Amino acid sequence: MSRSSRWILIAAAIAVVAGAGTVLVAVANTADPVPLSVAPTHRPSANLTPSASATPSAPTTPSTSATPAYIQPDAATLATLPDANYNAVISGLLDAAVAASLPLLGETFTLKADLTPLYGADRSGAPVASLPFLNFLGARTVVVPVVVHDDGWAEILTPSRRQLPSASGTGIAASQTMAWVRTDQLVAGAPVRQHALVNISTQKLSIINTADGTVTATYSVGVGKADTATPLGLTYLQARYRDPKQVTGHQIYLTAAHSSVADRPFGPDQGLVGLHWSAVNTGAVSHACIRLNAAGDNAISKLEDGTRVLVVE
């Protein structure tokens, strides 16, 4: 694939402390992982710093209204778009707050093309970003739909921010984003039959059969501190990996969500939210991450990438 995003996992010694909720550097076992800010080799990730004048839009309710005939952007146009990666801030993406109130789907997809155009509120206008065929680990990007329409469009959750909290004017920004994509750009994947429900007030994580709502298991978890709260809403598991310099003997499970109250609550962490094992795994103890005990870690390890994670108060 001539335009695939190629990510290089570098064992960089970025100094961080416990609780960040992100991936890919050396920290102690009680720390939350941090991803390396390595741009794809095919071009730089654009719009990493949004304009201070940007303001968050109201959550967009999925619509079935008719749109003009679709015209696929050419390769030159796609090459100018920012990649919707974990470290990008793309103002044209939509606030996904409404997704938490919609029925959970079990569908997942991957992508047909190296770069797939993403659209904001105006599907008849220009695309606002592209979604790479490969994620930052070099694995195929998992696409998680919120709604699949019968007009050739789907709304999907996206792994980028649309605004930094510091640029919002209120100190609060959307933790999860979404965008429109053409369904003919997607390849159907295996269905995901379970989801994770995290209750912040009870500090519990439950594994639930999505079809009938049956709770199969519940575990105690650690959650965000008062000033770096775990963000509420719907997100999903986008990737996982091992890094013994961060968490010995356990994987790190990265969601597509970001802190809604801090740009980088744990140093160079991009504000990402993850689930991972920690020796300190109860109470309000993290910088937004969900900390797992050994049993909870084992349960999450059995869930596929693309599994929805719903966080409620």
Average pLDDT of the segment spanning 153-173: 97
Pick the last residue of a domain from 188, 212, 244: 188
Tell whether the model's pLDDT for residue 69 goes beyond 70: yes
Shared-domain flag, residues 177 and 202: no
Tell whether the model's pLDDT for residue 76 goes beyond 80: yes
Phi-psi region of 169 (alpha: psi -120 to 50; beta: other; left: phi over 0): left
Pick the last residue of a domain from 170, 188, 206: 188
Location of structure tokens 């741009």? 39
What is the spatial distance between Cα 185 and Cα 198, in angstroms, rounded to a whole number? 32
Give the per-residue pLDDT at 61: 54
Q: Which domain covers residue 279, as residue numbers?
A: 194-312
Q: What is the pLDDT of residues 1-17, one digit of tens each?
A: 444 433 333 333 333 33
Q: What SS3 state is found at 294?
A: helix
Beta-sheet pairing, 115-118 with 94-95: unpaired
How many other C-beta atoms are found inside a 10 Å radius of the C-beta of residue 107? 16
Average pLDDT of the segment spanning 36-58: 37
Domain count along the chain: 2
- Name residues whose C-beta falls within 8 Å of residue 304's C-beta, 6 or more positions apart in sequence: 108, 190, 192, 237
Shared-domain flag, residues 254 and 215: yes
Q: What is the pLDDT of residues 256-291, one digit of tens each?
A: 999 999 999 987 778 999 999 999 999 999 999 999
Alpha helices in 5-142 (DSSP H): 75-80
